[in-house]
Amino acid sequence: MSKKIRVGMVGYKFMGKAHSNAWRQVPVFFDSPLVPELKAICGRDEEGVKAAAEKYGWESYETSWKKLVERDDIDIVDINTPNSSHAEIAIAAAEHGKHVFIEKPLAMNIEEAKRIADAVRKAGVKHMVSFNYRRFPALTFAKQIMNEGRLGKIFHFRALYLQDWIVDPDFPLVWRLDKKTAGSGALGDLCAHIVDMALWLVGDIKSVSATAETFIKKRKLPSQEGGLSAKAGEKTGEVTVDDAVISLARFENGALGTFEVTRFAIGHKNGGAFEINGSKGSLRFNLERMNELELLSAEDGDEQGFKTILVTESTHPFMAAWWPPGHMIGWEHSQINQVYHLLESIAADRMPEPSIYDGLKNQAVLEAMGRSMEDGRWHEVEKMDG
């Protein structure tokens, strides 16, 4: 019989909705060794968080995250607030003996990330960063291919993540465009994802160079905060984060990498993609075709070409829990898959992946990119021990 695990969550908007759905759905589709109880959800606006608790199925709500992490009836704290509050909440949760599940990017900067890592290490709790794309069946299958050495010696990793939601100059200055709250722009929001893919699939990054641009320097302040659908007011403010970043990278294993992220690519709503080239073959993935993986083998000689693998067979990662072959899953299912992985890991007393230590490595790469964006020079990536 499955045991219960009691969940508290801080944040209730876009990612709060996605995480709530994952906690509710995981026991429906997976034979999870731990069954989540949705104990409490937290947000500063009482009217908003109360409505979210009722809609998403939480037993209660709090308007103070400090009260939530102190509650004796909570075992794990799920943090999906704006980036500026990640460190304070995560450290307090760990100090109160709670497992920590935290949205990416891990923190505002490397110093905060180190403090979080120190706190969870000292507390001995389990922890995971929400790089949910790892739990797309196609990407987990790609990891298996890489682990088997089927691409041979790796030469290149090239990736991009393209969106267009702030091209309109009348779109307001939401928190994601304010460095005090977000830490960075496309760098932390989008590049963090493809850096995680690179670290996971190819290996540690040795050094980077980067350049960035903020195309629209001033915007109207929002009349009310609404995330991607916020409405503009009359007053204006300065955009203090990057709109787009392009980076070069050298991996520890000798491979070269390129990273391009932007929120100004018209026609791309959520266009993430990567390609890996090795001595025995190549692999590529497109987020907008997330149920497919493309693989090329050099052993096919003059008949070689990319073959499209439809990653929906029950033998593919996670798919046995879902639908018959050929029936697609979507972005929200990766959230459910990662919550299952988290619960399974806690039950087995092993550290989930990606852990906060993985998030710390990611933060070190972003930090080096950020320094290069300022001075235009190559920067070494600080080595991090897990």
Among 173, 175, 176, 196, residue whose Cα is nearest residue 186: 176
Question: What is the pLDDT, as a whole number, of residue 223?
Answer: 75
Number of Cβ within 10 Å of residue 150's Cβ equals 15
Q: In what order do the strands lie in the sheet with 60-62?
A: 60-62, 34-42, 3-10, 76-79, 99-103, 127-130
| Amino acid identity at 317 | P
Is residue 161 within 8 Å of residue 190, measured between CB atoms? yes
**Ramachandran quadrant class, 10 (left: phi over 0; alpha: psi -120 to 50; beta: rest):** beta
Question: What is the pLDDT, as a whole number, of residue 42?
Answer: 98
Q: What is the CATH number of domain 3-133?
A: 3.40.50.720
3-state helix, strand, coil in the chain (%, to 5): 40, 30, 35
| Amino acid identity at 90 | A
Question: What is the pLDDT, as a whole number, of residue 386?
Answer: 64
| Amino acid identity at 340 | Y
Give burial (CB, 10 Å; 0-12/13-18/19+) of 83: buried
Q: How many CA atoms lie within 13 A of 336 on its CB side?
A: 21
**Gap between the Cα atoms of 142 and 292, Å rounded:** 11
Three-state secondary-structure class, residue 60: strand
**Gap between the Cα atoms of 59 and 56, Å rounded:** 9
Torsion of CA 203, 207, 211, 216, to 10 degrees: 50
Is residue 236 within 8 Å of residue 280, measured between CB atoms? no
Q: Where in the chain is the domain with CATH 3.30.360.10?
A: 135-380
Superfamily of domain 135-380, CATH level 4 = Dihydrodipicolinate Reductase; domain 2 (3.30.360.10)
Among 225, 309, 321, residue whose Cα is nearest residue 28: 321
Spacing of C-alpha 164 from chain mean position: 19
- Could you read off the pLDDT tens digit of each residue along the chain, which spans 386 residues? 579 999 999 999 999 999 999 999 999 999 999 999 999 999 999 999 999 999 999 999 999 999 999 999 999 999 999 999 999 999 999 999 999 999 999 999 999 999 999 999 999 999 999 999 999 999 999 999 999 999 999 999 999 999 999 999 999 999 999 999 999 999 999 999 999 999 999 999 999 999 999 999 999 998 765 555 566 666 899 999 999 999 999 999 999 999 999 999 999 999 999 999 999 999 999 999 999 999 999 999 999 999 999 999 999 999 999 999 999 999 999 999 999 999 999 999 999 999 999 999 999 999 999 999 999 999 999 999 76
Residue owning tokens 């075992």 = 75
Q: What tokens does 228 get?
A: 């991607």
Q: What are the Cα distances from residue 211, in Å, to 82, 143, 196, 198, 386?
A: 25, 29, 19, 19, 29
Q: Specify the DSSP class assigned to residue 38.
A: E
**110-123 and 86-95 are packed helices; what angle lies between their axes, rounded to 10 degrees?**
10
Question: What is the pLDDT, as a whole number, of residue 235?
Answer: 85
Torsion of CA 302, 306, 312, 313, to 10 degrees: 20
CA 320, 324, 330: angle at the middle one, nearest 5? 75
Question: What is the pLDDT, as a whole number, of residue 227?
Answer: 55
Q: Where in the chain is the domain with CATH 3.40.50.720?
A: 3-133
